[in-house]
Structures are given as structure tokens and as C-alpha cells.
Structure 1
Amino acid sequence: MAIAAVGQLCSTASMSHNLALCQILVKKAVDAGAKALFLPEAADYIASSPAESVSLARPMETSPFVLGLRKAAKESALAINVGIHVPASEGKLSNRSCWINERGDIEAVYDKLHLFDYGALKESNSVEAGKSIVPPVDTVVGRVGLTICFDLRFPEIALALKRQNAQIITYPSAFTVPTGKAHWEVLLRSRAIETQAYVIAAAQVGFHNEKRRSYGHSMVVDPWGKVILDLPGEGTEPEIGIVDIDLDYREKVKSEMPLLRRTDVYPEV
């Protein structure tokens, strides 16, 4: 059994400010005895326009935000999963989930496959969609599959990660308030039930600027579909929740209810 921390914060357009918030969460996670800290999508910044978002993106290798978290991970012996932006081709950026191990090394990255084009938010205006599902990475808390936010609505990724024995699936997010109220919990529970994995969804919360507000409710769902963590949806201070990741319990759920797909009838996705 391993202790995991889930961080919730309200990122702004200032990377230095957001790094300071994340460093607070690192300290809280270490004090709680956690082996890994899960941070939200776009923890490095949330801009007020597509143009500003593209202008703020920095390569992983030189980003002060990423370098600061890598240093914190190494000094604290704490693995960190974090959502960031990196420059991509043709004046766009990639929305990336990054796994930093407890030695401060970047061990895996995943670029968001499904972009959020809903209402006034058109992610495709500034973001280049990813091109592949990344194999799960072996970590101090288990075998972790990386996804991001809007990917939550597409079970195919989670099922592909399940087939590669992902014990934990992450959904770092910045859900809007209307979609969060309607769909957040039911989608997270669905992904956990169908994969029989722990689902960890660190979330942005509150008003980032005059145009953008996030739902919060960072959540962890166990392999049976039970919500074992739900942080409040309001609040301006960065906070963490703590959960136990019990991989033996996951194996018990899997053995008691085998999910054997009829791939002779329908193709594997």
C-alpha cells in the first residue's frame, strides 16, 4: 500500500506564482508521507487568450516551472504527475501530462489526444492534438497510465491502458463548472468501474481570470467505483487530499469480477 497526494490549485498566467503554489503542495504531500503528488492539467499556467497561452509555452528542458518541480521532486524524494504546456509546430502548443520520478527525472510524457472545443472554449485554436497513447509507467505507487481532462469522455484510451495493466489512470483536469456539475463524477466512476483501476483526477479550481473558471472537486475513485476523495469545489488556497493506493484490493476486485470481453463478436478497441 502506498500513500498518494492529490493537489488542487488555481493557476494564473504567472508561472512563478503557480510554481510557488505547487511547491506548497509538495511540502504538504511530503509532510503527509505521500510517495507521489498528482497535480492538475495546465498547472504551469492558464492564460486569458489562445495567443497568450502560446506565447507562454516553454520547452520542458528549459521551463522554469518544470525545472522547479524537478528540483522539488529530487529534494523531497517525491514523484510528481503534472500538466504543462510545451511549444508544438505551426504556432501551437501541446497540452502535456508529465511524470517526474522521485529522483527528479522526467520518466514519461503524454500529449492530450482529445481537444476541448465547447462553447467559447476552443482548445484547438492553440493546441495541437497528441498522436498516440503512451504505455503505462512503473512508479512508486503503481503502474500509471497518463491521460488528460477531456480524454475522460473517451473510454477507448482507458481500456487500452487497462490492457497494458495500468493500475492507476490519471485525469489531470481543468473542467468547466457546467460540465463538471453535469458529468465529472459519473465519468470518473465509469472509467474506474470499466478498467478496475484507481482513477486519480487532480483538478484546477476557481477563477483563473475574468474569462475562465474551473470546477474543482479533485477526485479519486477506487477500482470498485467508490469515490474515496472529493475535494471542495471552491477555495483560493492550494490544498491536497490523501489516499491509500491498495494494489492488492485492485487484484481482489479483478479476480472476483472478471471482465472478459467478447472480442470474437466485437473488435478490441
Structure 2
Amino acid sequence: MKRAALVLAIAALSCSDRVERTGAVSSAIINGTDSPSEQDAVVLIMHYDAVQLGGGTAGCTGILLTPRLVLTARHCVSITDGSAACDSAGKPTFGAEVKSDHVASKLYAFSGTTRPDFISGLDRAARAQEILTTGAKTLCDNDIALLLLERPMRDAKIAPVRLEGGPRKDETVTVVGWGVTEKSPNPDVRQQRSGVKVEEVGPADRLGPAEFKLGESGCSGDSGGPAFAESGAVLGVLSRGGNGSGAKPG
């Protein structure tokens, strides 16, 4: 595992819990709609590990920055505490420990707007070759990672990154991801939600200097998925959150 200089912000989601979950499997975009093909830089990340997962899989979301480079959340590619609470300095007050990274070759990225068949759909997938992180042992201010793929993603769409400044309070973003919906734990179609407001920018209460808080959208993630600025550029990745309030997922 190599260290990488990751400068994008980390989006924490607006929720009521003081201690927020970091789980990747049960995350969901609240009140989401189908994500169009124009957002195909957003990919599904699957972790296949017959030993660790008992023959099963676990899923997250990522964003293609180049045909071989995927941006995602650190807890999507590592074994971590299941909950995290952080202070305004980006230090943990509860949980948030990164224990170890997954084996890179057990991680796959799938392209497309529809959920693949994980047996015959491997032509849409590229396997990870290397995991790149900040090297931090905490998720606080560091829940971000890159996957270097073994080969370029076929017909890859690339997401631009906003370079002219970080998130701004009250600007609106679009979140996209592969989390569960009201109807299915494995939705057939990728989901999105637009018009999500940036409520606070760190450093602030429970937000480190590299983090910002979104209004109701994914509430515990679609972990690793993007927060797109109105320009269409990536502003940050979705990290942690608690239960959504006042709405059902999907």
C-alpha cells in the first residue's frame, strides 16, 4: 500500500447521531432517482473475499478520475471500526480506527447504470491492482482512497475535479451511488439526488478541516460516491452518517 496526496474534501452527511456509522453495505441515497448515463464516471465497487466475507460480497461506490484510477472512501477498501466520531481538528473521539487494507486484487470496479450480473458481467469490470491512501490510521479527515486498476475501464467516462476551491456553505451538490433503496438491497439502477445543500464546512463541530456536511441525501453514505458541484466536477466523496430522518431511502 502506497501513500497518496488526496486533496478532495470528505462529505459527512447530516444526521442526528453523535456517533456515525461508516458501513458500506447498507448505505442508501434518500429520495433518489435513477442516475443517467451522463454520470457513468460513477462505478460500483465490489469486494469479493470468500474467507473474510464467508463467500459473499460487499459493495461501495467510486468515481473514475482516469480510465485506471478510482476515487472512493477509505472504509470501502479497508477493515475499519464500524462507527466514527471526530472533532474539529480531525481527531477521533470514538471509533474511526483503520485496522488494515483489503487485498487489492479482491476489489473490482463495474461500469454502467445497471447492476451487473456478477458471473457473466465481468466484461464490465476491472480488478484493482493497488490501493493508495494517505496512510492514516484513522478515518477522521482521511476517509478517502484511490484504487489503481489493472487495466483501463472499458469505454470509461472520466469525472473532472474542481480545482478552484473547496466546498462552500449553502452551495448545492448532486450525490450519486449504488446503495440500497426502499424496494431492494441491490437496486437494478444506480441512484442520484440533486439539490443537496452543503450545510457546514470544516473545521466545525464533528467536522475536521478536510470535511463538510451535506443535508439529507445518503445518510450513511452511498459510501465512496461523489458529491458533484453544479459544474459537474467532483467536490468530495461520501463518508459517514447516521439514520436518515423524515424520509425513506430510495
- Please, what TM-score do these two structures have when normalized by structure 1? 0.28
Max Rg structure:
1
TM-score (norm: length of structure 2): 0.29
* Structure having the larger proportion of residues in strand: 2
Q: Which has the higher helix share?
A: 1
Work out which structure has the larger RCO, using CA pairs closer than 8 Å and 6 or more positions apart in sequence.
Answer: 2
